[in-house]
Amino acid sequence: QCITHCPVGALRERDDTDRILDALDDPETIVLAQIAPSIRTAWGEEFGLGPEEATVERLASCLKEIGFDYVFDTDFSADLTIMEEASEFLHKLTQNEGQFPMFTSCCPGWVRFIKSHYPEFIPQVSTSKSPQQMFGAIAKTYYADILKVSPKKIFSVSIMPCLAKKAECAYPNMTDKDGNFDVDVALTTREVNRLIRSFHISPAKLADKELDMPLGIGSGAGNIFGATGGVMEAALRSAYYFATGENPDPDAFQDVRGMDGWKESTFTIAGNKLKIAVVNGLANADKLLSALKTGQVHYDFVEVMACPGGCVGGGGQPIHDQVEMAAHRAPVLYKQDREGSLRFCHENPSIKAVYKDFLGEPLSELAEELLHTDQKGWLMPGEK
Ligand code: SF4
């Protein structure tokens, strides 16, 4: 907050909107955007719009007015993350491979924390890339093939709730074999709102615009990634299906919801009793890792999000002085999940298509190449 409240304007947060404008000005460049799940809970706040009006489709409409060629949903790649991460977890569990717990990896703030403070746990962090990065990797391969263009022509923008995503997309291992970055620029919610204002667009006056296909479909399970506990709940829904061949009640794992900083629960999947924990806020992550290290607690699977409340409370979201918004925003995602017809990542038709036509199956050689990473590769040049 000190960055946005510096009285003399000496401190400014990094603003990447100029890079977007340059890409939009180039007629040879295809500019596409992905919109993270938590953005739909918050972007309208600065325009006086509630979540019913400030939909993801309304934001897509604004972006199209600005000149974006295609607008997609990070919910799609949150579904893809679950396909890979739930498969990775089940593989580890059934092969009794490596140490437990396995940690989620979709929050770069958390991955950065564990890397710098508890490096001994790095091998236990999922190798699955985050939804932001998986989207970028698919956009510049599968989607480039659909468009019949070179990946070099695609400028991939992500609209994200935090500044940590800017660092994540710039890590040297977040590229393809030729060194092309999966994601070229990550914009925060506040930056995208400034961009909308700079084009004199009044979102209230625009009609919603459907997201583009096929990367514009996401499940409710992918959507709840934006709230603490959402990644775990989505992963357990699909892990249950992968292990038993049947869908669970989509609300069977709802014990992991809520704003408590450290939640734990036990679920049985295909005869395996799984002890899981969900943590939000780095102070709680520190306590959890310390307790794991001393053997005070034992878990099989742990979700950590660095921001209190998860991405709905992310540092790039609109700020309201003295008001913590995460608890107000998270119910928007749960309502959309409850009311939607698609509540399992593995049932997303676009996910089925990307595996059938391109990736093969979760953890295939191509999936490993594009969608997974060596967690040691998060080091920047010169870092240990
Ligand atoms: Fe970014 Fe915070 Fe979400 Fe982590 S929890 S991905 S740091 S907004």
In this prediction, residue 4 has a pLDDT band, given cuts at 50, 70 and 90, of very low
Q: Which domain holds residue 287?
A: 2-378
In this prediction, residue 41 has a pLDDT band, given cuts at 50, 70 and 90, of very high
Give the position, in ligand 1's atom list, of the atom nearest the Cα of 305.
5
Q: Is the pLDDT of residue 12 over 60?
A: no
Q: What is the pLDDT of residue 384?
A: 52
Q: What are phi and psi of 81, to 5 degrees?
A: -60, -40
Q: What is the pLDDT of residue 211?
A: 98
Provide the strand spans (E) within 148-230.
Answer: 154-160, 185-188
Where does ligand 1 bind, in terms of residues with CB under 6 Å? 107, 109, 161-162, 164-165, 305-307, 310-311, 314
Q: Residue 86's closest CA among 230, 218, 231, 248?
A: 231
Compute, in angstroms, the gap from residue 96 CA to the centroid of ligand 1. Answer: 30
Q: Residue 34's closest CA among 68, 66, 65?
A: 68
Q: What is the pLDDT of residue 377?
A: 65
Q: Residue 166's closest CA among 178, 175, 157?
A: 157
Residue 319: helix, strand or coil by DSSP?
A: coil
Q: Is the pLDDT of residue 324 over 90?
A: no
Q: Is the pLDDT of residue 316 over 60?
A: yes
Which residue lies with its CA nearest to atom 6 of ligand 1? Answer: 107
Q: Is the pLDDT of residue 352 over 50?
A: yes
Compute, in angstroms, the gap from residue 358 CA to the centroid of ligand 1. Answer: 30
Average pLDDT, integer, range 83-89: 96
| pLDDT tens digits for range 195-251 | 999 999 999 999 999 999 999 999 999 999 999 999 999 999 999 999 999 999 999
Q: What are phi and psi of 34, to 5 degrees?
A: -120, 145
Compute, in angstroms, the gap from residue 163 CA to the centroid of ligand 1. Answer: 8
Q: Give the Cα separation of 9 and 34 in Å (integer).
A: 31
Query: Is 274 contained in some domain?
Result: yes
In this prediction, residue 40 has a pLDDT band, given cuts at 50, 70 and 90, of very high
In this prediction, residue 5 has a pLDDT band, given cuts at 50, 70 and 90, of very low
ipTM of the complex: 0.99
The length of the chain in residues reads 384
Q: Give the Cα separation of 165 and 318 in Å (integer).
A: 16
Q: Return mean pLDDT, the chain.
A: 93
How many angstroms separate the Cα of 295 from the Cα of each of 104, 304, 350? 20, 19, 42
Give the position, in ligand 1's atom list, of the atom nearest the Cα of 226.
3
Query: Is 383 contained in some domain?
Result: no
Q: Is the pLDDT of residue 3 over 50?
A: no
In this prediction, residue 2 has a pLDDT band, given cuts at 50, 70 and 90, of very low
Average pLDDT, integer, range 363-380: 85
Q: What is the pLDDT of residue 380?
A: 52
Query: Is 384 contained in some domain?
Result: no
Average pLDDT, integer, range 327-350: 95
Q: Is the pLDDT of residue 382 over 80?
A: no
Q: What is the pLDDT of residue 1?
A: 40
Which residue lies with its CA nearest to atom 4 of ligand 1? Answer: 107
In this prediction, residue 181 has a pLDDT band, given cuts at 50, 70 and 90, of very high
Query: Is 270 contained in some domain?
Result: yes
**CB atoms < 10 A from the CB of 332, how many?**
22
Among the listed ranges 152-161, 284-293, 315-324, 357-366, which one has the minimum average pLDDT value? 315-324
pTM, two decimal places: 0.94
CA 214 to chain centre: 18
**Which CATH number fits the domain that encloses residue 213?**
3.40.950.10
Q: What is the pLDDT of residue 87?
A: 96
Among the listed ranges 4-13, 90-99, 102-111, 300-309, which one has the minimum average pLDDT value? 4-13
Q: What is the DSSP letter of 125?
A: B
Which residue lies with its CA nearest to atom 7 of ligand 1? Answer: 109
In total, how many domains does the chain have? 1
| pLDDT tens digits for range 256-276 | 999 999 999 999 998 999 999
In the numeric block, the tokens 């089940």 are attached to 90
Task: Count CA atoms closer than 13 A to 9's CA, side-chain side.
Answer: 0
Q: Give the Cα separation of 243 and 77 in Å (integer).
A: 22
Query: Is 327 contained in some domain?
Result: yes
Buried b (16+ CB within 10 A) or exposed e, 47-81: beeebeebbbbbbbbbbbebebbbbbbbbbbbbbb
